[in-house]
Amino acid sequence: MVTLGCARNEVDSEELAGNLHERGWNLVDGEDSADVVVVNTCGFVESAKKDSVDTLLAAADTGAKVVAVGCMAERYGQELADQLPEADAVLGFDHYAQLAERLDDVIEDRPLASHQPRDRRTMLPITPVERPAAAAEVAVPGHGWVPSTRVTRRRLDDAPVASLKLASGCDRRCTFCAIPAFRGSFLSRKPDEVLGEAAWLATQGVRELFLVSENSTSYGKDLSDARALETLLPRLAGIDGIDRVRVSYLQPAETRPGLVRAIATTPGVAPYFDLSFQHASETVLRRMRRFGSTESFLGLIDQIRELAPEAGIRSNVIVGFPGETEEDFAELRDFLTRARLDAVGVFGYSDEDGTEAEGFDGKLDEDVVAERVAAMSALVDELTDQRAEDRIGSEVRVLIERDTEHEDGCAGRAEHQGPEVDGECLVTDPGTVAVGDVLHCRVIASEGVDLVVRPIGDEPERQRSGETP
């Protein structure tokens, strides 16, 4: 099983692995010994599509059968199969429940029709509260085909942090984004299902739950409970064995004061805000079909820091969007300078198949977009380095993810640092620690966005045994 793309894909792969294991398939290490290589592809942007194709070709070179699943397979289906004959099958989300049987077909060289894409937004009712009842008839990764009475997920690593899916799909219509068309309309997982999987993860050595979805701020709107996430967070944090709960992908326009308070002040919930600003100019935001402005975004940041001054705040921005003027670009620079974010991803605009923005006028030349990406990235590097320096002298709780035996030294993440993208804490003089321990440390230096920390106090906090509540 090879996984590309985001944390949501990682969850899908672990659920597929569990599903396959229950039906007689064995997961092996390394492609060379496999009968079938299942590649969970990403189809979000052009570079991710290229990575997916390269990975499929590399898998075919091993001599194993190759099956493409995931977002690129769902999005392009038969078109991908026609252009990539090296793949023995291209299967969409509708095949996930019967993936074991489809792999049997591949091994036996039985004819297997490739996935035929369709707009998955049309598969659930328009009214959110009507969706849970209809969801049983629709294949949604992480919903339905995984029995709610037991966990069929199988972990593909032993890291002390694991992603946990809150919901799938998105109801927003951002003009640059194709995700809703192939991931479908927004659908929350039921709280008891989320809690049950979280408790199971705790028994597998997980200390941090990373809650993922396309839009976590929408959680519960289809369950007739707009505050569902606010009430779910303390229940997740209370699971025995879980030390930290982290929420990802918050839409600024939907981030209500109650949710800000819940994330900023609930014990066991990381004061961490992954806010998808995308831009700061009102003109550009409206062309993106998004809401907000420099001042409203700064007001939201002020709310967060009033409740949790040391909170981590990260975001992504798109530069070079069609019609973006020098003044719009300057406003985004000003916003980021004033916002003092901990981490920022900078992306240059490029057309995505089937999106509204693909047909917009006012497209900027590629060299202009590249220049703006370079200039904004340089500014972001300077600003985030400064933000890291501001944390020198502060105290942090570090979840250890690499112990002293690792060639890169002992390291982990503090509460303000999200997995993989936000830097890490490099631990000096750690003593005897193991992956999964939590150390109380003081920040003594910074290296870019990374912090150098030294333990204070005595013994590390070790994990309690997780139990289902």
Same domain, 381 and 412: no
Number of domains, the chain: 3
* 244 lies in some domain: yes
Domain boundary among 88, 117, 146: 117
Residues 130, 185: one domain? yes
Chain segment 73-124, per-residue pLDDT in tens: 999 999 999 999 999 999 999 999 999 999 999 999 998 999 999 999 999 9
Residues 152 and 301 grouped into a single domain: yes
* Span 257-310, pLDDT tens digits: 999 999 999 999 999 999 999 999 999 999 999 999 999 999 999 999 999 999
Print the domain residue range for 206. 122-390
Q: Is residue 158 part of a domain?
A: yes
Residue % of the chain over a pLDDT of 70: 96
The angle, 0 to 180 degrees and rounded to 10, between the axes of the packed helices 294-307 and 326-339 is 10
Is 174 annotated as a binding-site member? yes
Mean pLDDT of 153-159: 92
170 is in an annotated binding site: yes
CB under 8 Å to 187, separation ≥6 — which residues?
124, 131, 132, 135, 140, 143, 167, 168, 169, 222
**How far apart are the C-alpha atoms of 414 and 453, rounded to whole Å?**
10
Q: Are residues 408 and 380 in the same domain?
A: no
Strand order in the sheet with 244-247: 161-165, 208-212, 244-247
Please indicate, yes or no, whether residues 148 and 277 belong to a single structural domain of this protein: yes
- Measured distance between the N- and C-terminal CA atoms of the chain, rounded to whole angstroms: 31
Q: 92 by DSSP, 3-state: which?
A: coil
Phi/psi zone of residue 93: left (φ > 0), alpha (ψ -120 to 50 degrees), beta? alpha
CATH number at residue 301: 3.80.30.20
- The model's pTM is 0.93
Does residue 155 form part of some domain?
yes
Q: Which structure tokens are listed for 135?
A: 């969801």
Q: Which of 115, 38, 47, 113 is nearest to 75 (CA)?
A: 115
* pLDDT at position 405: 85
Q: Which of 115-129, 178-192, 326-340 has the highest mean pLDDT?
A: 326-340
Position 439 in a domain = yes
- Residue 441 marked in a binding site: no
Same domain assignment for residues 146 and 226: yes
For the stretch 403-460, pLDDT in tens is 988 888 899 999 999 998 889 999 999 988 999 999 999 999 999 999 999 999 766 7
User: Are the CB atoms for 370 and 348 separated by under 8 Å?
Assistant: yes
In a shared domain, residues 386 and 402? no
Length of the chain: 469
User: In terms of domains, do 352 and 211 share one?
Assistant: yes
- pLDDT confidence bin for 467, thresholds 50/70/90: very low
CA 372 to CA 326: how far, in whole Å?
10
177 labelled ligand-binding: yes
**DSSP labels, 103-126:** HHHHHTT---PPP----GGGGS-S
